[in-house]
Structures are given as C-alpha cells and as structure tokens.
Amino acid sequence: MTPVDPRIDALEGDAALAARPAIAQAIHAFNDAASGADGRSFPLALVVREPGSDDVAGGLWGIGYYGWLFIELLVLPEAMRGRGLGTTLMDRAEAAARSQGCIGVWLDTFSFQARGFYEKRGYAVFGRIDGYPPGQSRYWMKKALA
C-alpha cells in the first residue's frame, strides 16, 4: 500500500480557535512524555468588573504548567490605572501560583506596555526581540517565587 500524505487545512477565525485545544493537547502529551514531568496545568482568571455591573473591564489570565505560571494577559482600562489594581492582580496571581506549588512566574510585554511595572515587582528580562512591532521591542520576563 502507498502511504497517504496527511491533509493540511488552513483555518481562520472561529475554525482556527476551535482547532487550538486539539493541537495543544497533542503538544502537551508529547512534552509530558519527553520531559518525564507532570504537566498538570491550571488556568487562572482574575476578572475586574465595571463598578455596579457584571461587565468585564479587564483583568489577568494565565496558565500554570510545569511548576511555572505564565501570565498571558493583563489589562486594565485607562480609567482604572494608577490605583493599585495591577499590583493587586499580580499579588493575587503570584499567591495562586504559590498555592499550586509553582516556583516562578513568567510573562511577556512590549516596550510600550508595562516593563517598568514588572521590574519594580522583581521580574527580570530573559529574552527580547527588537523591531517587534516595528520601532518597538517585545520582552520576556520571569520571577522566581520564594
């Protein structure tokens, strides 16, 4: 028999989003087998709501994996910045990571975002891409948890 080549479909929009869990499960299974580590993961969402409403105004979203919490999203609307909410979100995320046995937290940020905020919290740059986006830089940062 002649082997059949696999088909590759280019998906966009909702179809692309729907395919992500299957792709993620496949790489997680490979990583767990290759590393011998327990890849137990946990999602974390800290939601900031509009005053007097259930509407989501911002918040923090991350996922813990292999003993580290990755903070993928952190955003507050302009009107809520400068009031300590970002610090509160980070404190709660780090506490949640500790409670799950994590040894550190990592994240990425752009030069026009919050690098200084994270550095004040003890995060250090461990990777950088200049010109992404053009005229800016993207930084990967980490912090060991005590």
In a domain, 33, yes or no: no
pLDDT tens-digit profile, the chain (146 residues): 677 889 999 999 999 999 999 998 899 889 889 988 777 789 999 999 998 999 999 999 999 999 999 999 999 999 999 999 999 999 999 999 999 999 999 999 999 999 999 999 999 999 999 999 999 999 999 999 98
Distance, in Å, from the CA atom of 14 to the CA atom of 84, rounded to the nearest integer, reads: 35
Domain that holds residue 64: 38-144
Token pair belonging to 8: 């590759």
In a domain, 11, yes or no: no
Indicate which CATH number applies to the domain containing 134.
3.40.630.30
Given this model, what pLDDT does residue 56 score?
Answer: 96
28 contacts 42 by C-beta, under 8 angstroms:
no
Residue with structure tokens 């409403």?
53
105 contacts 87 by C-beta, under 8 angstroms:
no
In a domain, 51, yes or no: yes
In a domain, 47, yes or no: yes
In a domain, 23, yes or no: no
Distance, in Å, from the CA atom of 138 to the CA atom of 108, rounded to the nearest integer, reads: 7
Given this model, what pLDDT does residue 71 score?
Answer: 98
Distance, in Å, from the CA atom of 40 to the CA atom of 32, rounded to the nearest integer, reads: 9
Token pair belonging to 140: 């990967």
Distance, in Å, from the CA atom of 41 to the CA atom of 62, rounded to the nearest integer, reads: 10
In a domain, 8, yes or no: no
In a domain, 22, yes or no: no
In a domain, 27, yes or no: no
Q: How many domains does the chain have?
A: 1
Given this model, what pLDDT does residue 84 score?
Answer: 96
Predicted model pTM:
0.87
Given this model, what pLDDT does residue 94 score?
Answer: 98
Q: What is the greatest pairwise CA distance in the chain?
A: 67
